[in-house]
Amino acid sequence: MADNDLLKSIKQLNSVLLEADGQVPVLYNFVNSFSHITGTATMVMDNQGKVLAGNISCPDDDGYFKRILERGSTAGESQIQKIIKKGQPVENEQLMVKKVDGGEDKYYCSLQPVKVAGERQANLMICSFVKPLDQVYTALSHVGVGLVGLTFMHDVIDQADQVVRNRELAEAAFDSLSYSEVEAIREILKNIDKNESVVVASKIADSLGITRSVIVNALRKFESAGIIESRSLGMKGTFIRIKNTHALEIVASRSLEMDYIR
């Protein structure tokens, strides 16, 4: 790729971001565009070699990367696995791949770690068939890894925001409970195993000396807040699955406060 193509390629990559209407582009869409713009086999992989997104625009490729994408993993590809395990930028590394007829194909690969908040979240690898990757490709891979990092940063922020929302929902649901409903929820959550349980309301009501309606109301409030989902099992009771696990922490900590005050 000639130097005068570098600016054009960067503009094309930036357009992928701008055409996302202010949103971070989907990883697959970006990788697909990057592959077409650079004419390479492009993959984003996690630190174990699982392919998160990939596309092939590598002229004369004999199907090597197609097979990797179909498997969704570089497991068994010792040369690529070795590059990933280094955890460092690798430029113009040669891969010698055995052909079905006994010969070998030569690929040139570059890998850039994708880091978010100092932690390696993934790896961007670009590969060319036969032709070495010059400095222009290296520059484009640095642009690419920055844009891939944006997609991961977006996911990290979304996850952090979701944690805050889940805690707020759990707090609000707890505050809506009466004292008897708190006792019911505490008893129900004691029997949760791997975020699931079967509740027999009549047994819990008898053990706590409360009415069955108290338990039903407590469960309804938690379900309305999106903390649990439930399904009637008839005479066997009610199946409960925890959707917002932060509720377990909130109930435990707030209940201790109530016990202390009492």
- pLDDT recorded at residue 98: 78
pLDDT tens, position by position, 126-144: 888 867 888 878 788 877 7
Q: Is residue 74 domain-shared with residue 200, that is, in the same domain?
A: no
Q: Is residue 119 domain-shared with residue 239, that is, in the same domain?
A: no
Q: Is residue 132 domain-shared with residue 46, that is, in the same domain?
A: yes
List the CATH number of the domain containing 147. Answer: 3.30.450.40
Query: Exposed, middle or buried: residue 237 (CB in 10 Å: 0-12, 13-18, 19+)?
Result: middle
Q: Is residue 42 domain-shared with residue 138, that is, in the same domain?
A: yes
> How many C-beta neighbours within 10 Å does residue 149 have?
18
Out of 119, 139, 162, pick the residue that ends a domain: 162
Count of structural domains, the chain: 2
Q: Is residue 30 domain-shared with residue 156, that is, in the same domain?
A: yes
Residue 58: which of 19, 97, 103, 90 has the closest Cα? 97
- pLDDT recorded at residue 15: 66
SS3 (DSSP) at 215: helix
- pLDDT recorded at residue 48: 92
Q: What is the distance between the alpha carbons of residues 97 and 102, in angstroms, rounded to a whole number? A: 10
The answer to whether 74 and 68 have CB atoms below 8 angstroms apart is yes
List the CATH number of the domain containing 257. Answer: 1.10.10.10
Mean pLDDT, the chain cut into blocks of 10 residues (262 residues total): 61 62 62 84 90 82 83 90 88 80 81 84 85 80 77 64 79 86 85 84 89 89 88 88 82 64 48
Q: What is the distance between the alpha carbons of residues 37 and 87, in angstroms, rounded to a whole number? A: 26
Task: Please give the structure tokens belonging to residue 223.
Answer: 């379900």
Q: Is residue 21 domain-shared with residue 68, that is, in the same domain?
A: yes
Q: What is the distance between the alpha carbons of residues 212 and 85, in angstroms, rounded to a whole number? A: 57
Q: Is residue 235 domain-shared with residue 188, that is, in the same domain?
A: yes
- pLDDT recorded at residue 91: 86
pTM: 0.56
Which residues are registered as beta bridge partners of 114? Answer: 122
pLDDT tens, position by position, 192-208: 888 888 888 888 888 88
- pLDDT recorded at residue 142: 78
Determine the structural domain holding residue 88 and report its residue range: 4-162
